[in-house]
Amino acid sequence: MTATTLSAADLTTGRGSLAQFLNDVWVLTKRSIARIRREPETLSEVTIQPVMFVLMFAYVFGGAIAIPGGGNYHEYLIGGMLGMSLAQTAPGTAVAVVSDMSTGLIDRFRSLPMSRAAVLTARTIADLLTQVIGAAVVAGVGLAIGWRVHTGPGDVIEAFALALLFGYAFTWAGVCLGMVLRSPEAAQQTGFIIFLPLTFISSAFVPTQGMPGWLQPIAEWNPMSSLAAACRQLFGNPNPAALVDAWPAQHAELAVVCWSLAMLAVFAPLAVHLYRNKGR
């Protein structure tokens, strides 16, 4: 075979381990983005789904939901939709991880002299990019149904930054789910069972004040409620959580940061640990 030989200039081994990690993450993130470009329908969960949810809640349930403290339900809805549309990408992450793990590709990655954490990190970064698209879609359809921001650009940026931090933390939970489950179908099902109550037993769509007394503390401490309250507050939208005497309702922004960092601290190392020991 007319194999060219390698010289030192052809290798990246001389670089530091951080540079190698970033190289590997970049190479693999490009892989995921190429997949999206070839099959744009994989984006439906952050494009078509949020639009459907916003329209259904705004026009079907909206009229029946009273907001304590008053205000427009369409304006109330968007803060909650933002959290839901980002967190619900986690089951998709789990499915992608299970699919990857079930092909020989992951074995090949694990036999290469590459960073162990890069495969999963690249997955979460690609998913973060889809979440940015999801956030833009929610904002766009929100504007179309009459949602308005009544604060400055700084507050709006903070709201989206919090939402993406929150979504990114959920992505790592999705990775863990994908590492422990065996089939894409199981990942889809389990994701649905976990994320549906997580979204609905919160103030994302309905103020907690209308829930039974025993359910209210659960909903108030649900991270989804904190994100919804923080966004409403930062957008200057109706925020009934301000009337609730619970720590996460009163300190919504801080609560979102705490929840997100706590989830990252648990799920990111756990995911890498599971990946390292997969099948060993």
Q: Which is nearer to another protein, 109 or 221 (CB)?
A: 109
Residue 6, interface with another protein (CB under 8 A)?
A: yes
Q: Does 23 bind another protein (CB under 8 A)?
A: yes
User: Looking at beta carbons only, is 9 or 64 nearer to another protein?
Assistant: 9
Coil vs helix vs strand at 30: helix
Only one of the segments 5-13, 71-79, 197-205, 214-222 lies at the binding site for another protein (rule: CB under 8 A); that segment is 5-13
Instruction: Answer yes or no whether residue 19 interacts with another protein by CB under 8 A.
Output: no
Of residues 16, 60, 112, 154, which one binds another protein by CB under 8 A? Answer: 112
If we measure between CA atoms, which residue out of 150, 170, 156, 167 comes closest to residue 71? Answer: 150
Cβ(196)–Cβ(222) below 8 Å? no
Question: Could you tell me the two tokens for 265?
Answer: 């601290």
CA atoms within 13 A on the CB side of 116: 11
For another protein, which residue of 35, 144, 247, 262 counts as binding (CB under 8 A)? Answer: 35
User: Which window, 9-17, 58-66, 168-176, 233-241, contacts another protein (CB under 8 A)?
Assistant: 9-17
Report the nearest approach of another protein to the CB of residue 27 (Å). Answer: 5
Which residue number, 38 or 150, has a Cβ lying nearer to another protein?
Answer: 38
In terms of residues, how long is the chain? 280
- Residue of 16, 63, 111, 212 that binds another protein (CB under 8 A): 111
Does 16 sit near another protein (CB under 8 A)? no
Task: Give the interface size with another protein as a residue count (CB under 8 A).
Answer: 35
What does the alpha-carbon distance between residue 202 and residue 216 come to, in Å, rounded to a whole number? 9
Question: 């009273």: which residue's tokens?
Answer: 66
Determine contact, residues 155/235, Cβ cutoff 8 Å.
yes
Rounded-to-integer distance, Cα 107 and Cα 163, Å: 34
Q: Pick the closest to residue 85 from 254, 249, 204 (CA basis).
A: 204
**How far is residue 158's CA from residue 235's CA, in Å, rounded to a whole number?**
10
In the window 57-96, what residues touch another protein (CB under 8 A)? none
CB atoms within 10 A of CB 59: 12
| Out of 52, 56, 66, 105, the residue judged to bind another protein by CB under 8 A | 105
Which one among 16, 38, 212, 245 touches another protein, defined by CB under 8 A? 38
Contact positions toward another protein, by CB under 8 A? 1-6, 9-13, 20, 23-24, 27-28, 30-31, 34-35, 38-39, 103-105, 107-114, 279-280
